[in-house]
A = this chain, B = another copy of it.
């Protein structure tokens, strides 16, 4: 329930505290520049949004709802943008996204999220330090600041996935185990999860860089175009990851098939060598009264030599067949 307020009348001073009535006056005057950041907003904060900023009921609903698709809604007095920031779960190293709701008005920007988002924190920090950003800026520059640092925060997530995938690829070729397989499926799910948000998100940034929006100056669009290029890069990378991980799965399956093949070979070699030898011992173990060689002095030794030669012959045969 953290609330951060930045307000600038046009001079270099940043005001951090306003009553609801003052805020309402600022919004109605349309002058200055106001940034309201709400983390996990409670009933009181939502009341501000409803009464001070006069947000549409559907917007308020979307702000509470934690799973909204990335989108842009245009209203008369503001536009409402939903985008997702990438995050990782600290232990399991899985990928997740955090929703960020943005309202962009004539002289204000409101950012609402359920938990702290690194990209937004960075943007607030940078804005506070550099007073010019607020005194000369307009809401659309702040929007660019937020969206840009949010998209930049996808890169470490991609790096994490990259190293995971490299690990998997190395292991698949060297020593694939059931754990490798589980890792493959975990990464696949992460990619699935990311792709679900990246696609619509990319479209939204594309809209911002192309369409004519009331609260976005045409000069700022080239910057959104740049963010769009970054989104496209992220999108391409994830698509590549998907293809690579699918390739790793194929490699895993064929490695296992190869291995079954190798195991079968060992079994067949052992059986093919041992069975005929056992048959010979069986023959000379029969209790016939009248059998050749049995009484001969060198009988046992000659049969032993024959068996050894037979065994070696088999091994040579398998060597030739390239089974060994």
Residue ranges of A at the interface with B (Cβ–Cβ < 8 Å): 56, 58, 61, 67-69, 71, 73, 75, 173, 175, 178, 181-182, 185, 188-189, 192-193, 196, 222-223, 225-226, 229, 232-233, 236, 239-240, 243-244, 247, 249-261, 263-268, 270-272, 274-279, 281-297, 299-300, 303-304, 322-323
**Of all chain B residues, which has the CB nearest A323?**
B263
What is the distance, in angstroms, from A302's C-beta to the closest C-beta of chain B? 10
Chain B residues positioned under 8 Å from A323 (CB to CB):
263
Contact call B222/A58, Cβ cutoff below 8 A: yes
Contact call B286/A284, Cβ cutoff below 8 A: yes
Contact call A266/B267, Cβ cutoff below 8 A: no
Chain B residues positioned under 8 Å from A263 (CB to CB):
261, 264-265, 268, 323
**Of all chain B residues, which has the CB nearest A288?**
B300
Chain B residues positioned under 8 Å from A282 (CB to CB):
277-278, 281-282, 285
Chain B residues positioned under 8 Å from A73 (CB to CB):
222, 225
18 contacts between A and B (CB under 8 A): A68-B229, A68-B233, A69-B236, A73-B222, A175-B322, A178-B258, A181-B251, A196-B239, A253-B257, A254-B256, A257-B260, A260-B260, A264-B267, A270-B271, A278-B279, A284-B287, A287-B294, A291-B300
Chain B residues positioned under 8 Å from A185 (CB to CB):
247, 250-251
Contact call A253/B254, Cβ cutoff below 8 A: yes
Q: How many copies does the complex hold?
A: 5
List 13 other contacts, CB 8 Å, given A253-B254, A290-B300. Answer: A73-B222, A181-B254, A266-B268, A267-B267, A270-B272, A281-B282, A281-B283, A281-B285, A285-B286, A287-B291, A289-B296, A290-B297, A290-B299
Once A261-B259, A299-B290 are accepted as A-B contacts, the answer to whether A240 and B285 lie under 8 Å apart by CB is no
For the complex, what is the distance from the CA of A194 to the CA of B295, rounded to whole Å? Answer: 76
Chain B residues positioned under 8 Å from A270 (CB to CB):
268, 271-272, 275
Chain B residues positioned under 8 Å from A266 (CB to CB):
268, 272
Chain B residues positioned under 8 Å from A226 (CB to CB):
58, 61
Chain B residues positioned under 8 Å from A290 (CB to CB):
296-297, 299-300
Contact call B260/A261, Cβ cutoff below 8 A: yes
Contact call B276/A279, Cβ cutoff below 8 A: no
Contact call A288/B299, Cβ cutoff below 8 A: yes
| Cβ contact of A264, chosen from B222, B233, B260, B295, cutoff 8 A | B260
For the complex, what is the distance from the CA of A196 to the CA of B237, rounded to whole Å? Answer: 9
What is the distance, in angstroms, from A256's C-beta to the closest C-beta of chain B? 5
For the complex, what is the distance from the CA of A252 to the CA of B285, rounded to whole Å? Answer: 47
For the complex, what is the distance from the CA of A252 to the CA of B288, rounded to whole Å? Answer: 52
